[in-house]
Amino acid sequence: MTEAANFEKETAGSVTEAPAMLELVDLQVFYGAIQALKGINVTVRQGEVVALLGANGAGKTTTLRTISGLLQPRHGEVRLGGERIDGVPSHKVVELGIGQSPEGRRVFPVMTVLENLEMGAYRFKGVPKDDLERVLDLFPRLAERRTQLAGTLSGGEQQMLAIGRALMGRPNLLLLDEPSMGLAPLIVQQIFEIIKEINDQGTTVLLVEQNASQALQLADRGYVLETGAIVMEDDASALLSDPRVRAAYLGEGAA
């Protein structure tokens, strides 16, 4: 392929040729004697939204926790921009440009919305004003509730806060762990629209979801995890029309 063709392809919006940002190579993670990840390989390229799908207990959260340094792999590597980052403690991983909205949102309940966002910018000296403005623009609901304690917010608002807080750390790669969990369909819709906007603004996203249809509509590519192993990987549109995915994760033609 010529340079010009490459250029055309990128400007056309495809990111498949973009350099790999995050690579998981033969990643194996154990809880004691139990193996939670059985050697998975995942690549996330610059600018992509990649969905990691799977049922409860498939190892989705374990994958994210390993990337962010909360868990150490027994075998395999986590690479960011080609460099190994497994073994880096979690408070250092954020400095490498990885932000996370953890499973269950985990906002600081007895801090205000504003304080939660400021915690997201903890790695910086002071709180960058433009980041704060950007996040409050993205989530007008949070702007309205900035002095309210985070523990008193609704589930959807807490999810927005968790994502906004992660953005305050100015991540190049945003890890989202089940942002749709326990939320009403309308709110899920809103949150996915915002994730799209965040990606359009240049942040790469690794999205862990049980809500496969929402996730695949948004994502460029997807992986399906089953009991600690990747069983499928493809473009999101291909996965969305794959009969196995439709049967297992979209509730069609069951049994």
Partner 1 sequence: MNLFHNFWDYFIPGLTTGSMYAVIAIGYTLVYGVLQLINFAHSEVFMMGGFGSLVVLSELAPQSPHGFTSVVWVIVGMIAGALVGALTAFGLEKAAYKPLRKRNAPKLVFLISAIGASFFLYNLAGKLWGRNPVPMPELYTNGEVFSVFGTPVKITQLIIIGSAVAMMIGLDLVVNRTKMGAGIRAVAQDAETAGLMGVDIDKIISRTFIIGGLLGGAAGFLYGFGISGQVWFTVGFLPGIKAFAAAVLGGIGNIRGAMLGGLLLGIVENLSSPLFGTQWIDVTAFVVLILVLMFRPTGIMGERLGRSA
Q: Which of 169, 179, 222, 228 binds partner 1 (CB under 8 A)?
A: 169
In the set 120, 156, 164, 228, which binds partner 1 (CB under 8 A)? 120
Spatial CB neighbours of 70, under 8 Å, sequence gap ≥ 6 = 90
Q: How far apart are the first and last CA of the chain?
A: 45
Burial call 42-51: b when 16+ CB within 10 Å, e when fewer: bbbbbbbbbb
Which residues have CB under 8 Å from 49's CB, separation 6+? 195, 196, 199, 204, 205, 207, 218, 219, 220
Note whether 107 and 162 are within 8 A (CB).
Answer: yes
148 is an interface residue for partner 1 by CB under 8 A: no
Per-residue interface string for the shown chain with partner 1, residues 67-86, x marking contact by CB under 8 A: -x-x----------------
Nearer to partner 1, 115 or 226 (CB): 115
- Smallest gap, in angstroms, from Cβ of residue 227 to partner 1? 25
**Distance of closest approach, residue 204 Cβ to partner 1, in angstroms:** 17
**Does 112 interact with partner 1 (rule: CB under 8 A)?**
no
Kindly tell me which residue out of 17, 26, 83, 95 binds partner 1, with binding defined by CB under 8 A: 95
Count of residues of this chain found to bind partner 1 when the rule CB under 8 A is applied:
23
**169 vs 222 by CB, closer to partner 1:** 169
Residue from 108, 237, 238, 250 touching partner 1 (CB under 8 A): that is 108
d(CA 63, CA 184): 26
How many other β-carbons are positioned within 10 Å of the β-carbon of residue 7?
Answer: 10
Per the CB < 8 A criterion, the answer to whether 96 and 154 are in contact is no
Distance of alpha carbon 77 from alpha carbon 172, whole angstroms: 20
Output the CA torsion sign for 174, 91, 80, 225.
Answer: negative
Residues 33-72, interacting with partner 1 (CB under 8 A): 68, 70
Q: Which is nearer to partner 1, 26 or 95 (CB)?
A: 95
128 contacts partner 1 (rule: CB under 8 A): no
Handedness of CA 44, 211, 171, 41 (dihedral sign): negative
**Shortest Å distance, C-beta 153 to partner 1:** 14
Query: Of residues 1, 5, 33, 110, which one binds partner 1 by CB under 8 A?
Result: 110
Q: Is 182 in the site for partner 1 (CB under 8 A)?
A: no
Residue from 54, 59, 102, 179 binding partner 1 (CB under 8 A): 102
Task: Name the site residues for partner 1 (rule: CB under 8 A).
Answer: 68, 70, 89-91, 94-95, 100, 102, 106, 108-111, 115, 118-120, 122-123, 151, 165, 169
